[in-house]
Amino acid sequence: MRNLIVLLFFLSFSLNAQESDSTKVVELKADIKLYKTFNSEKDTIYIDTSLTIQDEYKYNYLKKDNFGLFSFSNEGYLFNQLDFSRKRTTTLPQFGFNAKHSTYLDNSDIFYYSVPTPLTDLYFKTVMRQGQSLDALISVNTKPNLNFTVAYKSIRSIGDYFNNLTSSGHFRFITNYNSINKKYFLKVNFVGQDIYNQENGGVKFIEQLDGTNPSFSQRERVDVYFNDASSKLKGNRYFLDHSYQFSTGNSLVLKHQAYYENKFYEYIQATESPRLGDSPNSSINNKTRFDVFYNKVGVSFKTKNLGEINFFIDNYSYNQFYNVPEDASFNPSINYSLHNRINNVGGQYEFNQNKWNFNILLQNAISNQPTSNYEAFAKYKFSEDNFVKISAQQISKLPDNIFIFNQSDYVNYNWNTSFKNEKISILKAETKNKWFEAYVQLTNLNDHLYFFNTEERIDSLVVKPFQYDKSIQYISAEIAKEIKYKNWALDNRIKVQEVQQDEKILNLPYLVLRNTLYYTKPVFKKAMLLQTGITVNYFSNYYADDYVGVLGEFFVQDQTKVGGFPVLDFFVNARVKQCRIYLKAEHFNALFTNKVDYYNAPNSPFRDFHVRFGLEWNFFK
């Protein structure tokens, strides 16, 4: 697959070179605004080859602005969630192993394309050590109403510390079609992905990082807890979404959405570790499989002036299971699988006309598993980039499967229990205008589920699921403002959040901020656009959740605070035609400050100083 990506790169380069020479600017055969991409929610984005500060923020493995996330030492491994408001919530029970899903592509991460000429999009970036990160995409409209897109994203990085390899791949095949008379619309995609990580369990002796012993400046010499543990999250998903509108104008619309997904999480350890407790086996091989089939059928009435009203019913069937032993260890009293089926009915009203946009959704379960989701928002647009929006949501959510059912070769990590639904209420107000963008969010959590280490020691992990029987109130406010003067700009984003609770269950930093001072100027007779500057990321110290690989989950701890340190990045970026080039000195203040203070979690150090290079290149044939 890696050879295929290289071949696609040089093929695209050759095609581009045949149509232009080095003394001419490439002329697109079509207006750039005709190159469009949109997600399952029909939010349209135009393909953009400009170079802005937002491109700098999105130039990472997630390919999105990761403000509110804090990456662990190795690229593509884990992220601390500093911003609770970014957490995705669904009423339906998920697989679990949520920490490992930070780079897993969901349906909302898949984009569909419409391009007048073939489009190639290439992304490349160096990593920590011995590897690279790549993302290659080719999109073609064989007809104006039929598009095919093929993409592959991968990363391999050995990391700075021992037994910390990241090696992942994400293949996407995407197509969308609409009939010439604009009555039938179809979106289909297949996503196959595997996320492999070596799991070292963190640094064993923190004092090895204090700089007194030069031997440990070579980070692979630092002692870690696990030398032979690894995890893999692998999944395949087939997705279909189509609709038929009987006529233009006021009309009845039939809708159908379905997907099938199978995946597994595997944790392998060649030698059992006393840190995780006893095991009847000398080696650990945990594998949890999950299959889900989802169907949603709806009918709506669409009008020109009064919006669209939609009624639907859905079915969510899942099966989580483990291998049944064929030897003497088989125990007929143990459940080796978990089956369930959930049916919901609901109605939705959408109005989007002139400057107003309303949306109301009501959804309830009709099966023996009670869930509900009530949400609404109202948005008024003064212009395309100037709006005010108020939204509210109330959710009754079934627990993710890992909270109620888990099997492991480690005795401490087996349970079959039950919990109440989590109840979440959200009220949010946001605005964007020519002066600033901002939002305020109030969230109330009841029956919140979490993991906690019952040993309360870093060298002994007995992590179990718990449910908090009291209420948690979360409030956050965020504001962003960019100040420009000639070729200089100062981009600022500040987030303040506070949690009111009787115990330390939901732990978050009070302050999260990012400030970037940068300079932009065309050079070489405007043949190149140069952008250079310094970014400061900071979050106040707090009791950050720790991580346990055998569950692929974060767990609550209240012994050690992390944070309270700045991370300074110096960057030089450039754009030449459709190519954007990135060079960054990451965390350069680690060269002259105390490295022992930089942590993601109690025994997981943040990355040291690195210089990284990469590019993004669009080809329009």
CATH, residue 456: 2.40.170.20
Confidence of residue 593 (pLDDT cuts 50, 70, 90): confident
pLDDT of residue 337 exceeding 80: yes
Tokens of 238: 């087939």
Number of helices (H), then strands (E), belonging to the chain: the values are: 3, 35
Q: Classify burial at 339, counting beta carbons within 10 Å of its beta carbon; exposed 0-12, middle 13-18, buried 19 or more.
A: exposed
Dist. CA 62–CA 170, nearest whole Å:
12
Cα Rg of the chain (Å, integer)? 25
In this predicted model, which residue has the larger pLDDT, 368 or 526?
526
pLDDT of residue 242 exceeding 80: yes
Q: What is the mean pLDDT of residues 125-148?
A: 95
Dist. CA 110–CA 95, nearest whole Å:
20
Confidence of residue 200 (pLDDT cuts 50, 70, 90): very high
Residue 46: predicted pLDDT: 81
Under a CB-based contact definition with an 8 Å cutoff, are residues 173 and 180 in contact? no
- Count Cβ neighbours within 10 Å for each residue of 441-451 and write b for 16 or more, e otherwise: bebbbbbbbbb
Mean pLDDT (the chain, rounded) = 90
Under a CB-based contact definition with an 8 Å cutoff, are residues 137 and 72 in contact? no
Residue 207: predicted pLDDT: 86
Dist. CA 513–CA 568, nearest whole Å:
12
Residue 214: predicted pLDDT: 80
pLDDT of residue 259 exceeding 70: yes
pLDDT of residue 261 exceeding 90: yes
Reported pTM: 0.91
Give residue for tokens 């192993």: 97
Residue 575 CA: distances (Å) to CA of 151, 525, 527, 582: 23, 13, 9, 9
Task: Give 439-467 pLDDT, tens digit per residue.
Answer: 999 999 999 999 999 999 999 999 999 99
Residue 30: predicted pLDDT: 65
Domain range holding 40?
A: 2-620
Dist. CA 323–CA 515, nearest whole Å:
50
Residue 420 CA: distances (Å) to CA of 369, 397, 401: 11, 9, 13
Q: Classify burial at 108, counting beta carbons within 10 Å of its beta carbon; exposed 0-12, middle 13-18, buried 19 or more.
A: exposed
Under a CB-based contact definition with an 8 Å cutoff, are residues 258 and 294 in contact? yes
Q: What are phi and psi of 19, to 5 degrees?
A: -100, -5
Confidence of residue 15 (pLDDT cuts 50, 70, 90): very low
Q: What is the mean pLDDT of residues 303-316?
A: 93
- Per the document, the length of the chain is 621
pLDDT of residue 42 exceeding 70: no
Task: Give 603-615 pLDDT, tens digit per residue.
Answer: 999 989 999 999 9
Q: What is the mean pLDDT of residues 509-514?
A: 97
pLDDT of residue 1 exceeding 60: no
pLDDT of residue 3 exceeding 90: no
Side chain identity at 377, as an amino acid letter? F
Closest CA to 83 of 452, 493, 550: 493
Domain tally, the chain = 1
Dist. CA 69–CA 395, nearest whole Å:
24
Strands (E), 540-592: 546-548, 553-555, 565-576, 579-586
Task: Give 160-187 pLDDT, tens digit per residue.
Answer: 999 999 999 999 999 999 999 989 999 9
Side chain identity at 445, as an amino acid letter? L
Residue 327: predicted pLDDT: 57
Residue 350: predicted pLDDT: 94
Widest pairwise Cα distance in the chain: 78
Dist. CA 67–CA 79, nearest whole Å:
11
Under a CB-based contact definition with an 8 Å cutoff, are residues 609 and 592 in contact? no
Percent of the chain topping pLDDT 70 = 93
Under a CB-based contact definition with an 8 Å cutoff, are residues 84 and 443 in contact? yes
